[in-house]
Amino acid sequence: MNTRELDAKYIAGTYARFPVVLTHGKGSVVWDEDGKEYIDMGSGIAVNAFGIADAEWISAVMAQLGRLQHSSNLYFTEPDALLAEQLCSRTGMKKVFFANSGAEANECAIKCARKYAADKYGAENRYKIITLVNSFHGRTVTTLAATGQEEYHKLFQPLTPGFLYAEANDCEALRAMVEADPAVAGIMFELVQGEGGVLPLDKGFVECIASLCAERDILMICDEVQTGNGRTGSLYAWQQFGIVPDIMTTAKGLGGGLPIGACLMGEKVKDTMTPGTHGSTFGGNPAVCAGALNILSRIDDALLASVREKSAYLVNELSGASGVESVAGMGLMLGIKTVKPVDEVVAACRENGVLVLTAHGKVRLLPALNIPMELVEKAAAVIKAACAE
Ligand SMILES: *Cc1c(COP(=O)(O)O)cnc(C)c1O
């Protein structure tokens, strides 16, 4: 059997895959098993931050693999300590918990918010978390409950209780929800709803969340799993909204292609999680953290400026192009609403050597942060042609 036949027979049927078997790549170019070459405008869903087989990242990971590939959290190791130090110094956050995925980072954030509220107000008095309609926070039973999309909930009842859903960008409705319910412990949101269609929140609404949280000692939790690590043109997206979260989570791009999640805790909650309240066997894996430290160190001002520049080029090229209804997003996280059915556009791009993603009926672009401008130009031309009527 070939790979696709083996997959069909033995891999659980949870994924609707594109009809391509990828074998290898370099930077933002990737090849399939027939030797066809593609420009990678998805980077493994915003994971391969510096593209495929990045030499510096490989040597950071390999050097650590050759020393100690895993230790368990029963011992201290240097890479996770250095990574946590840099995460805190570049965000003003105070403590980091390392997990292995976005959903797990969010689980930590939810537990941290509940424990903070329980310690201070009593567990039965304060435990609820408000999230936004159309949000996405993960696939575990609890992060699915946090995800404000009905269609994901239906088949898995009962989900973890204690979540309320507010409409994005409606400050008055959110205020009413908070005023009606003294049990609200946290408000969790993505600054740009990724899976929901690449929709940035209004700045005024984000300020509204911040003031409600400050007034009532409600924890502000930013899910930066997708928007984080340079993706939107700043290290974290909240840095462009004039707010400072109490808790933020990230994952995807942080590991440069290896699994990592991180929950960062600010001043208010820095001492909330105590021994025995949370843990992870693989969390803070030294090889993964050595790679992540390399990635994070290279997301500097010059790289962030180039992310914004490439973003502006793509927005400018695609906005108003034939068959393009709208372009939304921030940085190298863009969603294109097309006149043609999205699947048709994606297939035409693929035929012509460009891999793109989708989100809620839109074409979604999440290229590597260091994609060369020349490839951005080539990809834009292919995408434009695929959209054109
Ligand atoms: C991808 C994503 C998650 C889930 O991350 P996993 O690593 O798949 O568990 C959570 N929140 C947001 C905003 C995401 O984009």
Q: What is the pLDDT of residues 182-217, one digit of tens each?
A: 999 999 999 999 999 999 999 999 999 999 999 999
The CA 1 to ligand 1 mean position distance, Å, reads 33
Mean pLDDT, residues 168-173 taken together: 98
**Predicted pLDDT of residue 89:** 98
CB 194 near ligand 1, within 6 Å: yes
The CA 102 to ligand 1 mean position distance, Å, reads 4
The CA 195 to ligand 1 mean position distance, Å, reads 9
Q: Positive or negative CA dihedral for 113, 117, 118, 119? A: positive
Q: Helix-strand-coil percent breakdown of the chain, rounded to 5?
A: 40, 20, 40
Mean pLDDT, residues 166-172 taken together: 98
The pTM score is 0.98
Only one residue has tokens 């933002």, namely 28
Mean pLDDT, residues 12-18 taken together: 96
CB 136 near ligand 1, within 6 Å: yes
**Predicted pLDDT of residue 139:** 97
Write b or e for each residue in 50-78: b if 16 or more Cβ atoms lie within 10 A of its Cβ, otherwise e: bbbebeebeebbeebeeeeeeeeeeeebe
| Coil/strand/helix, residue 157 | coil
Strand 128-132 to 184-189 pairing:
parallel
Closest listed residue to residue 169, CA positions, set 197, 196, 149, 191 = 191
Mean pLDDT, residues 321-336 taken together: 98
Mean pLDDT, residues 47-67 taken together: 98
Mean pLDDT, residues 38-54 taken together: 98
Read off the pLDDT of residues 65-123 as tens digits, 9 standing for 90 and up.
999 999 999 999 999 999 999 999 999 999 999 999 999 999 999 999 999 999 999 99
The CA 347 to ligand 1 mean position distance, Å, reads 25
Closest listed residue to residue 162, CA positions, set 139, 181, 135, 179 = 181
What gap in Å lies between CA 75 and CA 91, rounded to an integer? Answer: 26
Read off the pLDDT of residues 353-372 as tens digits, 9 standing for 90 and up.
999 999 999 999 999 999 99
CB 196 near ligand 1, within 6 Å: no
Strand 192-193 to 354-355 pairing:
unpaired
CB 148 near ligand 1, within 6 Å: no
Only one residue has tokens 């700043």, namely 234
Element at 88 (helix H, strand E): helix 78-89
DSSP 37: E
**Predicted pLDDT of residue 38:** 98
What gap in Å lies between CA 64 and CA 332, rounded to an integer? Answer: 30
Q: Which pair of tokens denotes residue 40?
A: 């990678």
CB 190 near ligand 1, within 6 Å: yes
Element at 376 (helix H, strand E): helix 373-387
The CA 45 to ligand 1 mean position distance, Å, reads 10
Bin 98: left if φ > 0, else alpha if -120 < ψ < 50, else beta.
beta
Q: Positive or negative CA dihedral for 321, 323, 325, 327? A: negative
Percent of the chain with pLDDT over 90: 100
CB 54 near ligand 1, within 6 Å: no
Ligand 1 atom at minimal distance to the Cα of residue 138:
4
The CA 252 to ligand 1 mean position distance, Å, reads 7
User: Which stretches does DSSP call E strand in 154-290?
Assistant: 163-166, 184-189, 192-193, 199-200, 219-224, 247-250, 261-265
CB 209 near ligand 1, within 6 Å: no
**Predicted pLDDT of residue 337:** 98
| Cβ(156)–Cβ(242) below 8 Å | no
What gap in Å lies between CA 229 and CA 188, rounded to an integer? Answer: 18
Mean pLDDT, residues 338-348 taken together: 98
**Predicted pLDDT of residue 52:** 98
